[in-house]
Structure 1
């Protein structure tokens, strides 16, 4: 790198958020270097559900999580799983989560998520059009279905809550569901359709398209592991497994791995944990669904993609180091049985596990600290893909010293 222009900013993290930020900052005239231990897009960005979930304006949990705690500990393939060996480390995070369900903090979360989500789809359209790849986004809505008659009250209550937050939503009868998605079974009683949502035909392809555009604009990517860092008088020094790097600014956007470097650079211990997510990709199921469909009772999502049908959505709290339990991925196929007129074909299916970076108040950290030398963009929980483009827009505004709407909700100082 000695014969190359020194970077103005080093971005730690080559997932969807880091790459989107790199492209944005490059277009603002910055010399950008992106560093990650993996190749771009090979973390959570590779295997997420692909759903642009702009309808999800409520926190990831509620008080009912206390009632589910015994099942979380005992059922290794349940939709929400807490590894009992990880329980001592997880309890402080869950305690914070419950504290954030108090009225004032809960409303702050809803306001913050709504502000990000309302601009997310348009931000993605603009970004993809700017790189000549608008076809990667399908803006065709999504559907939440229910099977039991006694779930109707929950569906009606959710529709009312969504309408109170100005989330576009419509109730579909069972016949309307099958008219929109003819492969779904007669078991489905109805559902909620969200017209203001969409999905990507392949999340990894989106990352690669942004990487290509960023490289064409002068962004450099290197594969190294960041071990530590420190803020100095004229910038930031990062220690990697292949030497040191220095730059006037650093952006931390490495998802579930962001807490250690944030503490080293800012002195702030962030309560970041990971929700381990699994997916099962069914390559022989192209065309089964026209849009993403979520099951209310079974608590998972099915998204049509170019490479088949992706089943995703389970949550496991077990930290970053414990081995994957791929039975959780295969369980997704069993959950799908009965939702279709004919069961899904699991031949040649491939399982996957990744890490969602989650904070106990369900809001990301999007901030600049240490006199502007350190920028932060992580903790987007289930909404990293949804909010990546609008997060990059906000980071660009911060670097350009512009006003950022709703910025206070995403500051590091709230912890």
Structure 2
């Protein structure tokens, strides 16, 4: 039996979303117990790209991908890989994804992503400021570069689409790119600069600092694997490998692992899958870039951090159990060749893989169900870091039975 004090809310999942929510709920006077099978921040939050991607208001796929999909899937080192052994399990998810590419559902997804993203920068400024760690975030913008002259038309079309969604964006000429980031290759043609974005200098440290603030606010942490649970009149009983945890409410925020517990407690089967993402950390590259840079053609991102330069990207569908394909992480270094005046050093480089929790409409579940006994905050796909702080504020309002936004796009019953 887990020895616990009285718990108002058990937060299952100690990634960036769960820790931010735990801190928010504790500050609202709740007695919070945070539970995870790993130490805080050891999942996807440890190795994300570190980019505050408020400019990414479009779903993870659109109709244009259908023409490129066969070629992409046949390239084992391309930006998208599907493990064919996993295809039967993934087919229902992909079918839902295709249905969400229709104009109506697609535009609803855009609106839902945009609403969260528009509140993300301010929410992060408030959250990091409240713990005295504003220096962990650099609001210095980000840059999307292109190399081939024939790519300019696609870039201009993307700029127009973003302007339609009120995303601040500027076109930078090749000269402007060279002036701002002189170590990039002079062959680059230009790019789009997003001034209302930025990057975190150490995403894992962000989680750790929030966790320390949460503990100081009374949050208790139990390292345990939650295997199931049941609702009752007094709240919820969670079954774990360390015993039973009793709470008045539970918040499920364990990323790609959230579907099973959600199904057990709510009876709702959520179409949650994982896009496995990779990074390669280059500790010897501290002065290459002033801000995050993404390649339009090569489809990966490079983010300057306190520990070096992080190359991140790729999407792999292979489920939660298959071992990582670390050659995909090393492929990121090969993709970087030609983007700089001098190739990046891989001395001391470390590869990593993590699970992005993705739903087929590219929107998270943020909801209050089962007469308020179950709160939900998961499925943020590529935008978990971006949307964590604003999600915590929304969860705080849901816990207090308030609502400051239209929550319909994020509700569990949309599935």
Q: TM above 0.5, one fold?
A: yes
Mapped partners of 1:260, 1:2: distance in 2:
21
Mapped partners of 1:84, 1:299: distance in 2:
22
Partner of 2:354: 354
Query: What pairs with 1:4-403 in structure 2 (closer than 5 Å)?
Result: 5-403=5-403
Q: Tell me if the contact between 1:358 and 1:381 (Cα under 8 Å) persists in the aligned partners.
A: yes
Mapped partners of 2:379, 2:348: distance in 1:
33
Mapped partners of 2:297, 2:155: distance in 1:
11
Mapped partners of 2:103, 2:123: distance in 1:
30
Which of 230-239 and 268-277 deviates more? 230-239
Long gaps (5+) in structure 2: none
Mapped partners of 2:71, 2:151: distance in 1:
20
Partner of 1:406: 406
Mapped partners of 2:171, 2:193: distance in 1:
6
Mapped partners of 1:34, 1:213: distance in 2:
13
TM-score, L = length of structure 2: 0.99
1:295-321 Cα deviation digits (max 9, x unpaired)? 000000000000000000111000000
Mapped partners of 2:73, 2:181: distance in 1:
36
Mapped partners of 1:140, 1:270: distance in 2:
37
Long gaps (5+) in structure 1: none
Mapped partners of 2:218, 2:271: distance in 1:
35
Question: 1:218 is paired with a residue of what secondary structure?
Answer: coil
Q: Tell me if the contact between 1:146 and 1:191 (Cα under 8 Å) persists in the aligned partners.
A: yes
1:84-133 Cα deviation digits (max 9, x unpaired)? 11111111111101111111111111111111000100100000000000
Q: CA deviation at 1:73?
A: 3.5
Question: 1:398 is paired with a residue of what secondary structure?
Answer: helix
1:265-287 Cα deviation digits (max 9, x unpaired)? 00000000000000000000001
Question: 2:280 is paired with a residue of what secondary structure?
Answer: strand
Q: CA deviation at 1:72?
A: 4.1
Q: CA deviation at 1:403?
A: 1.8
Q: Tell me if the contact between 1:274 and 1:317 (Cα under 8 Å) persists in the aligned partners.
A: yes
Q: Tell me if the contact between 1:112 and 1:406 (Cα under 8 Å) persists in the aligned partners.
A: no
Mapped partners of 1:209, 1:238: distance in 2:
27
Q: Tell me if the contact between 1:115 and 1:406 (Cα under 8 Å) persists in the aligned partners.
A: no
1:328-353 Cα deviation digits (max 9, x unpaired)? 00000000000000000110000000
Question: 2:10 is paired with a residue of what secondary structure?
Answer: strand
Q: Tell me if the contact between 1:72 and 1:82 (Cα under 8 Å) persists in the aligned partners.
A: no
Question: 2:371 is paired with a residue of what secondary structure?
Answer: helix
Question: 1:117 is paired with a residue of what secondary structure?
Answer: helix
Question: 1:371 is paired with a residue of what secondary structure?
Answer: coil
Q: Tell me if the contact between 1:131 and 1:213 (Cα under 8 Å) persists in the aligned partners.
A: yes
Q: Tell me if the contact between 2:73 and 2:80 (Cα under 8 Å) persists in the aligned partners.
A: no
Q: Tell me if the contact between 1:83 and 1:316 (Cα under 8 Å) persists in the aligned partners.
A: yes
Question: 1:116 is paired with a residue of what secondary structure?
Answer: helix
Q: Tell me if the contact between 1:73 and 1:83 (Cα under 8 Å) persists in the aligned partners.
A: no
Question: How many residue pairs are counted as aligned between the two chains?
Answer: 415
Which of 79-88 and 373-382 deviates more? 79-88
